[in-house]
Every structure is written in structure tokens, then in C-alpha cells.
């Protein structure tokens, strides 16, 4: 699946499969890797992909998903809960790895996928700004130059030297978002976490994302708020049950998704 953007692809997923084990792993139990075991896993993988069925006790979060995003494009991802939206972002940001297939990115990837994305609760706001910036490959002097802008946007001046574990969830989102958008990532991934903030901050975040989009930065945006998807994105991928249901313009995909919801089609 190719993007409609004019630039070259900055990220690509090719035939990506991702499964999760149902239930919980027993603590303290390790599984020895053997040649026979690896061979059996390879046979299982080939057979499962051919049939489109996960192994017993597993579920597909993504099943043979391919998509690409052009440099400077703003891509929206929509779908019901459990459709594979967050899993897609976690694969792009390397929080998790695919079971099969390839994920390729170019440049720095900034992510705001969960409330604590890139944020360590035991560190202060100040320390987290330097930590996250360093993880994204910035030099200390560059972070220092942007430090004032980050704090001002997050409106956390009086609390910047307080450990983040004492922040409210809204304060954590403000810090994480402000760092993510000010360290100039080549690709910014944003999930539903903005819903945690207050209405004023949400509006400021959307305005900032709008600025990034118009300046040519790449954005991958997941939201259940269709007006935000239509405002920010030039193309939309609709995921359903871990597969690409359709892709196209925001109005087309929003209309299709709404029709499916009305008919009770997407799985929650």
C-alpha cells in the first residue's frame, strides 16, 4: 500500500503480523530455545500466516498489514477498540517488535502513545526533558536551548523540579506532549492520550500539530474524534480486527467507519 504524499516514504510496514498471548505468563518459567523448537515455530508461523489463524492461546493484533507514510504526510488511523491502532504505533516506535514482517523508519521518531511515553515517574520534569531529548538523539546544548519553550508550553514552571510521580495525569500529558513536539522529531506519533488533558490544552495541542503539519513534519495520528482526524490528516487508514479495512480521504473513511458502527460491523 503506497501513500499519496509527494515525498519519499519515511516509514513503512510490510506484511506485518503481530500476535499477543492470551492470559499471563507464569513468573519464573523460562523456555529453552532449541533447534527443534525453532524449526517447529517456523512451521507454525508459516502455517498460521497461510490460514490467517493464530496459535491456540494467542490473538492477532495485526494480520498482514502493509502501509507507508510519505515524508511530510499527515496520516490518520481510525477504527474500533481492538482494531490494531495502538499496536501499529508501538511497532513504529519500537516499543514492541513484529511477529513477522518488517517495519522501517527514517530519522527520529517522537511518540505520545501512552500517558507516560518517554517519561520516568521517579525523575523530575526537568530531568525528564533532558532524558527524552537525549533518547531522541539531541545534544544537551540543543535541549537546553529549547528548555524554556518546553516548560512554557507545558505550563509546569512551578513544578518542573518536582518528581513526575507527583504529577496528575493531565500534567504528565502536558509534559510528554511538550517535549515530543519541541525536540523536532522527523515523525511524530500521537495516540488518544490528548483526551486526558483539559479542553484548553487539547486546543493548544491541536493548533501545535496543525503548525507541524503545515511546516512539513510527518504525523501519524490516532483518534476517535473524527473532527480532529479530518482537521489534521490528508489520508486515513481504517483498521478493523487487525487488518486494513480501507484507506482513502478523511471524509470517505469517516463515512465508512460511521456506517460500519451503525451496522454493528467493527469488532470492539
Domain extent for 114: 72-263
- Better pLDDT: 218 or 24: 218
Q: Which of the given ranges, 95-99, 194-198, 237-241, has the highest pLDDT on average?
A: 237-241
132 in any annotated domain: yes
Residue 49 lies in a domain: no
Task: Quick: pLDDT tens for 71-86.
Answer: 999 999 999 999 999 9
Tell me, yes or no, whether 139 lies in a domain: yes
Is 2 inside any structural domain?
no
Q: Decide if 54 is inside a domain.
A: no
pTM of the model: 0.81
Which helix (H) or strand (E) is 250 found in, with range? helix 250-263
**Total structural domains in the chain?**
1
In a domain, 155, yes or no: yes
What string of DSSP letters covers 199-244?
HHHHHHHHHHHHHHHHTT-EEEEE-S-HHHHHHH-SEEEEEETTEE
Query: Tell me, what's the pLDDT at 184?
Result: 84
Confidence of residue 10 (pLDDT cuts 50, 70, 90): very high
Give a yes or no: residue 64 inside a domain.
Answer: no
| Residue 236 and residue 253 in contact, taking contact as beta carbons nearer than 8 Å | yes
- The pLDDT confidence band at residue 44, using thresholds 50, 70 and 90, is low
Average pLDDT value for residue range 103-118: 82
CATH number for position 79: 3.40.50.300
Q: Which residue spans within the chain are E strands per DSSP?
A: 9-21, 58-70, 74-78, 100-105, 109-112, 187-190, 218-222, 235-240, 243-248
Dihedral of CA atoms 191, 193, 195, 198 in degrees, nearest 10, equals -140
Residue 110 domain-assigned? yes
Amino acid at each position: 500500500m503506497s501513500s499519496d504524499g509527494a515525498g519519499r516514504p519515511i516509514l513503512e510496514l510490510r506484511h506485518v503480523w503481530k500476535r499477543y498471548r492470551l492470559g499471563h505468563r507464569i513468573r519464573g518459567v523460562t523456555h529453552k530455545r532449541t533447534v527443534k523448537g525453532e524449526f517447529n515455530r517456523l512451521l507454525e508461523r508459516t502455517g498460521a500466516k497461510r490460514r490467517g489463524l493464530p496459535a491456540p492461546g494467542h490473538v492477532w493484533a495485526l494480520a498482514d498489514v502493509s502501509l507507508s507514510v510519505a515524508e511530510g504526510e499527515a496520516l490518520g488511523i481510525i477504527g474500533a477498540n481492538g482494531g490494531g491502532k495502538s499496536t501499529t504505533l508501538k511497532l513504529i516506535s519500537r516499543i514492541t517488535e513484529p511477529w513477522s514482517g518488517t517495519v522501517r523508519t527514517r530519522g527520529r521518531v517522537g511518540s505520545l502513545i501512552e500517558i507516560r511515553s518517554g517519561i520516568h515517574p521517579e525523575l523530575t520534569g526537568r530531568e525528564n526533558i533532558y532524558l527524552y531529548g537525549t533518547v531522541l538523539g539531541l545534544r544537551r546544548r540543543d535541549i537546553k536551548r529549547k528548555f524554556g519553550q518546553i516548560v512554557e508550553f507545558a505550563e509546569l514552571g512551578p513544578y518542573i523540579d518536582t518528581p513526575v510521580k507527583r504529577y496528575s495525569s493531565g500534567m504528565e500529558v502536558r509534559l510528554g506532549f511538550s517535549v515530543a513536539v519541541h525536540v523536532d522529531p522527523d515523525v511524530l506519533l500521537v495516540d488518544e492520550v490528548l483526551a486526558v488533558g483539559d479542553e484548553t490544552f487539547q486546543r493548544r495541542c491541536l493548533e501545535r500539530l496543525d503548525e507541524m503539519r503545515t511546516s512539513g513534519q510527518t504525523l501519524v495520528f490516532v483518534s476517535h474524534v473524527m473532527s480532529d482526524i479530518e482537521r489534521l490528516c490528508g489520508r486515513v487508514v481504517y483498521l478493523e480486527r487487525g487488518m486494513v479495512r480501507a484507506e482513502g480521504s478523511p471524509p470517505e473513511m469517516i463515512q465508512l467507519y460511521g456506517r460500519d458502527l451503525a451496522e454493528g460491523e467493527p469488532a470492539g
